[in-house]
């Protein structure tokens, strides 16, 4: 009975010793490694955190730059629009001036053509018409009665005016 109790005791002792040896080796061999690993992880995390911070900073700068560029783009776009408006106005003005000049030229040409045709008329048709009229009237009044009647009517009018 006793021996059985001792045996159990030793058994427990062995077990505890074994556990102690295992724990000892575990403590001696694994813990530093785990600590190193944890520290490495911490260091990595710190680096990553720093990188993250830097990235956030960069992102902020990029966003700011983007905003600046966007502002510049908008200003430039406004200027381009203003310039485009000015150019369109200028073009419109030039077009209007061109149209005015073209209209004036057209009128001038029309007047010149009219004058030329009038001149042609004066040079050819009118003298001929007047010569014909003069000839016909001369023929009509070459009849003595017609001519005398004309003068007689005229003299009667003068006679009335002096009475």
Partner 1 sequence: MNIEQLLLAKKYAVAFLNTFEKTIDFNAYQAIEKMYNFFNSNPQTLVVLAAPTLELETKSQLIEKIVHYYQAPNELMKLVSLLIKQQRLLLLPSILLQLTRVYRERNQLVAFTFYGSHELAEHETRMLSQFLEQKINKNILYNSVIDKELIAGIRLKSDTWLWEYSVEKQLRAIENSLH
Q: Which is nearer to partner 1, 97 or 147 (CB)?
A: 147
Query: Which distant-in-sequence residues (6+ apart) come within 8 Å of 140 by Cβ?
Result: 146
Q: What does the per-residue mask of binding to partner 1 show for 85-104, with x meaning CB under 8 A? A: --------------------
Question: Min. distance of Cβ 123 from partner 1 in angstroms?
Answer: 11
Cα-Cα-Cα-Cα dihedral sign, residues 34, 35, 37, 42 = positive
**Which CB, 102 or 137, lies closer to partner 1?**
137
Cβ 101 to partner 1 shortest distance, Å: 32
161 binds partner 1 (CB under 8 A): yes
Q: By CB under 8 A, tell whether 133 contacts partner 1.
A: yes
Region near partner 1 per CB under 8 A, out of 52-60, 68-76, 78-86, 129-137 = 129-137
Residue 68 is a binding residue for partner 1 (CB under 8 A): no
Question: Crossing angle of helices 126-142/144-162, nearest 10°?
Answer: 90
Assign 3-class secondary structure to 47-85: HHHHHHHHHHHHHHHHHHHHHHHHHHHHHHHHHHHHHHH
Question: Contact 68/61 with Cβ under 8 angstroms?
Answer: no
Q: Which tokens hold the place of 100?
A: 């005015």
Helices (H), ranges, 121-143: 126-142
Between residues 30 and 116, which has the closer beta carbon with respect to partner 1? 116
> Is 61 one of the binding residues for partner 1 (CB under 8 A)?
no
| Of 99 and 147, CB closest to partner 1 | 147
Cα separation, 54 vs 67, whole angstroms: 19
Neighbouring CB atoms inside 10 A of 147's CB total: 13
- Nearer Cβ to partner 1, position 87 or 137? 137
Per CB under 8 A, residues contacting partner 1 are 122, 126, 130, 133-134, 137-138, 141, 144, 146-148, 150-151, 154-155, 158-159, 161-162
């Amino acid at each position: 009975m006793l021996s059985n109790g001792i045996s159990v005791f030793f058994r427990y002792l062995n077990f505890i010793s074994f556990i102690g040896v295992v724990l000892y080796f575990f403590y001696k061999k694994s813990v530093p490694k785990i600590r190193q690993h944890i520290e490495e992880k911490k260091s990595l995390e710190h680096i990553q955190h720093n990188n993250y911070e830097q990235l956030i900073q960069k992102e902020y700068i990029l966003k700011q730059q983007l905003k600046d560029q966007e502002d510049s783009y908008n200003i430039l776009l406004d200027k381009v629009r203003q310039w485009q408006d000015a150019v369109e106005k200028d073009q419109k003005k030039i077009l209007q001036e061109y149209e005015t000049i073209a209209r004036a030229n057209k009128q001038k040409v029309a007047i010149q053509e009219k004058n030329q045709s009038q001149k042609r008329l004066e040079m050819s048709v009118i003298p001929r018409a007047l010569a014909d009229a003069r000839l016909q009237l001369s023929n009509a009044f070459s009849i003595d009665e017609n001519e005398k009647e004309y003068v007689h009517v005229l003299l009667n009018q003068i006679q009335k005016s002096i009475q």
